[in-house]
Structure 1
């Protein structure tokens, strides 16, 4: 009876997770198309990526830079917004609902809105900043047409992720901090910054770890917004974009699978590094620090 009850999950895991995972690993060592036969080529796909692929290294560069710059902004921004929403004010429930709305908006619609906002001629961002451009004699930036502005535009768009689920998770963590700790600190004369540093951050450090891990994985796997915004390829393509184009546009599933596994190894390595560093800054109440 137990196996019968868990069999839907087991079948789903085997068919939709484990088999595609192992098959993609096999395809990365082959020359394969979507509908054609596969031919074993060993590590040729990986050798080509690292030595003779003009799109691969720019793809790694822009993907890592985007994750490196957007992650701290997203985590810190979501924490600050959550701290504001943690105050007991009239109508605070309405504000919490408003700040959660980005989590339920379709990502495609959001991408198209950002594409319009960053339009170099009619976009609201250049229109709003036009007095600044005119005062300093700067030309209007072509956000998605000039390679030097593409990464900055995506960093600005990533700030949208501050709101929604990230803020709600931090808010839940903040509400779990015992009020008695703040009261004791106030009696001892601690200020707001001291309480934040020595009470809030240690108490919600497991939540911060979760947000760092999930935010890093999400940033490295950026895809939908990049595909619909369609920036110039001169700045490089994000790795998931490159996987899609090699596999479903150029029909080279072997190369696409190899890029996907390189991305997986990058994510795995960075995740393990974060976990390895966590004992130095993550505090759990059930553990005694020595």
Structure 2
């Protein structure tokens, strides 16, 4: 019991501390002549505010500071200015390959994921007997632990005993080719990860698209059918424009998720000859080589890449995203 006493005390002190902060915020708000309702609301969200400041905002700005220093995970830092960034872009042999494989993975897996999720959602949008069971089954990937999924894929792609090579061996033997060493040959690492990314078609992505499809007014399809429109015409001129805001959401979230790939790559452990994903490089520099300054610099480069690509998507959205409130002139 004594081993857990410190933890129990901390867990007991924390809610008391948060409650005290809420009372202080309420007192200050009332002194500033806020209404009682406003003061209570601010006090109730104060735990979230504290968590945001301590666990999000402070680490964000601290990592920016660390990216300009030579520092270790064990403490102690020395200001070196832009040296970390200069090293990354000039002499670091792992940095550019990591950008290459991360960007290629995102650019190749994103279209497959968005289109695949949309097609599956269209299938699940049909009114068939037992369709609720199928929707539940297709959502199951969302609740499966990512580590377990990574280990299953690692076994499936095993070059000697994996089920994928076993299933594909007749085709390779027909052409006199050896089965791929998926995670040992740098040429096959990226295709293997793209195949694994298809797992993301199911789960939340499909459910979001399904919700968007069910929000399309049936009257639009009925009017198109009266005019003699076919299935593809209805999909092109009704379905896609109506769910284009959902497509925008899926593109942005899918792109951010693809650029931040980490767990699967860490547990699959492919050959480093193909390059390491950027989040892998952040982890390795920060927690293996204890160079928190370099790790923070890589993380901020990744942040800027995500920011630029997100802004480009938003910049292009007026050309293909349509909202009901838009007035065409």
- TM-score by length of structure 1 reads 0.99
Could you tell me how far 1:6 is from its partner in structure 2?
1.6
Match 1:114 to one of 148, 153, 156: 153
**Alpha-carbon distance in 2 for matches of 1:5, 1:156:** 45
Please provide the CA RMSD for this pair: 0.5
Q: After TM superposition, what 4+ stretches of structure 1 lie above 4 angstroms from structure 2?
A: none
Q: Is 2:83 aligned against 1:50?
A: no
- Relative contact order higher in (CA < 8 Å, ≥ 6 apart): 1
Give the aligned partner of residue 61 of structure 2. Answer: 22
Q: Which deviations, in whole Å up to 9, do the C-alpha atoms of 1:195-227 show, x marking residues without a partner?
A: 000000000000000000000000000000000
Could you tell me how far 1:2 is from its partner in structure 2?
3.0
Q: Which deviations, in whole Å up to 9, do the C-alpha atoms of 1:35-82 show, x marking residues without a partner?
A: 131000000000000000000000000000000000000000000000
Q: Is 2:177 aligned against 1:138?
A: yes
Q: Secondary structure at the match of 2:45?
A: helix
- TM-score by length of structure 2 reads 0.88
Match 2:117 to one of 70, 73, 78: 78
Could you tell me how far 1:283 is from its partner in structure 2?
0.4
**Alpha-carbon distance in 2 for matches of 1:283, 1:199:** 11
Q: Secondary structure at the match of 1:254?
A: helix
Give the aligned partner of residue 210 of structure 1. Answer: 249
Q: Which segments of 5 or more consecutive residues in structure 1 lack a partner in the other structure? A: none
Match 2:131 to one of 67, 92, 104: 92
Could you tell me how far 1:180 is from its partner in structure 2?
0.1
**Alpha-carbon distance in 2 for matches of 1:50, 1:174:** 45
Give the aligned partner of residue 37 of structure 2. Answer: none
Largest Rg, 1 or 2: 2
Q: Is 2:114 aligned against 1:67?
A: no
**Alpha-carbon distance in 2 for matches of 1:227, 1:283:** 39
